Amino acid sequence: MANEPRPTLKTIAQLTGLAVPTVSRALSGAEDIGKATRERVRQIANEIGYVPNRAGVRLRTGRTHVISLVLSTEADVMNLTARLINSVASALRDTSYHLTITPYFPDEDPMRPIRHVVETRAADAVILNQVQPEDPRIAYLMEREFPFATHGRTNWADDHAYYDFDNHAFGALAVEKLLKKGRSSLRLLAPPVDQNYSQAMISGALQAAQMGGVELEVFRRIDSDDPSDKIQAHITQMFRNGLDVDGIIFGSANSCMAAVTGIEDAGLTVGGEIDLVSKEAIPFLHRFRPAILSQQEDAWAAGVFLAQAVIERIEQPDKALMQQLEIPGQDRRVYSAATV
């Protein structure tokens, strides 16, 4: 077995009766090759253990056929990030592209992994999230005309591919839900304020609170990315000190669950003395505490869209940018650079 020759495109061609170029294009997902033919070629390739020679592919095409998903190690792994990884990987499954995860750590320069990918050509494109309004990573990628797409928008969103959840609309909708519950003293546990989606969420919530004639303050000493024990302790102490708050909005499911523990430690009941509204990527919170009011963010659709967006930037760089905005409570809206 160890001396058997490695399967090649020619091997698949002989087994399928197709020409070698047709086999190659079928494996790369060429849309002008029929779906049934593409599936048959992939099935035979899997059965015989065919693995593309990446070095050879790179020499012939100049491409690695790798997409790098750049993620912070502080990301919400249980919820949004896990869903995003799964959906991007699934979207690439039947293509010639493979996914790599490129982490960066809280104590390092977030530019480092981006520079590494671009300067070493470790991937053909990158997908990144947790973007800042004027993110230096985005400026760097745009300057070098390196294919990329973002989960979230920057101040330069007109000029790059993205998928975003309308956090301004979420902030406003969350306030409206609490108003319907008769709540009037509100707090918002937002993501770190240096991130674009946090600023949008805060803006939407404050605007809706002002229009509704209720008080809303943003937590300053904690944010939704903080460790659960820190959030729990802060919330417990807040209520034990007698602060009169009857509604809280959360930027993540993890922070909401941590706060529930703190609320209950202080002797209060969710849905009783206080109501909570949280964003989540996986429908879970209603099972944790049925009284929690939640709004789902479609992280699966985001990952699929971003995978398609970067492939298009690689293969058809002259096409209009793929841009999509998910609005809570409405159908997702698709925009292109030509229509925004």
Structural domains in the chain, CATH included, are: 9-51 (no CATH), 66-166+299-336 (3.40.50.2300), 167-296 (3.40.50.2300)
pLDDT at 288: 94
pLDDT at 340: 31
Length of the chain: 340
Q: Please, is 127 exposed, middle or buried when counting C-beta atoms within 10 Å of its C-beta (0-12, 13-18, 19+)?
A: buried
Question: How far is the C-alpha of 294 from the C-alpha of 260, rounded, in Å?
Answer: 14
H/E/C letters for each residue in 155-212?
CCHHHCEEEEECHHHHHHHHHHHHHHCCCCEEEEECCCCCCHHHHHHHHHHHHHHHHH
Question: How far is the C-alpha of 61 from the C-alpha of 217, rounded, in Å?
Answer: 54
| Token reading at 180 | 């319907």
pLDDT at 318: 92
| Token reading at 280 | 């989540």
pTM, to two decimals? 0.78
pLDDT at 337: 38
Question: How far is the C-alpha of 79 from the C-alpha of 283, rounded, in Å?
Answer: 10
pLDDT in tens, the chain (340 residues): 445 677 888 888 888 888 888 887 887 777 788 888 888 888 888 888 777 665 555 545 557 889 999 988 765 545 678 888 999 999 998 788 999 999 888 788 999 999 999 999 999 999 998 899 999 999 999 999 999 999 999 999 999 999 999 999 999 999 999 999 999 999 999 999 999 999 999 999 999 999 999 999 999 999 999 999 999 999 999 999 988 899 999 999 999 999 999 999 999 999 999 999 999 988 889 999 999 999 999 999 999 999 999 999 999 999 999 999 999 976 544 443 333 3
Question: How far is the C-alpha of 113 from the C-alpha of 291, rounded, in Å?
Answer: 41
* Cβ(87)–Cβ(304) below 8 Å: yes
What does the pLDDT look like over 246-298, one tens digit per residue? 999 999 999 999 999 999 999 999 999 999 999 998 888 999 999 999 999 99
pLDDT at 77: 46
What does the pLDDT look like over 202-221, one tens digit per residue? 999 999 999 999 999 999 99
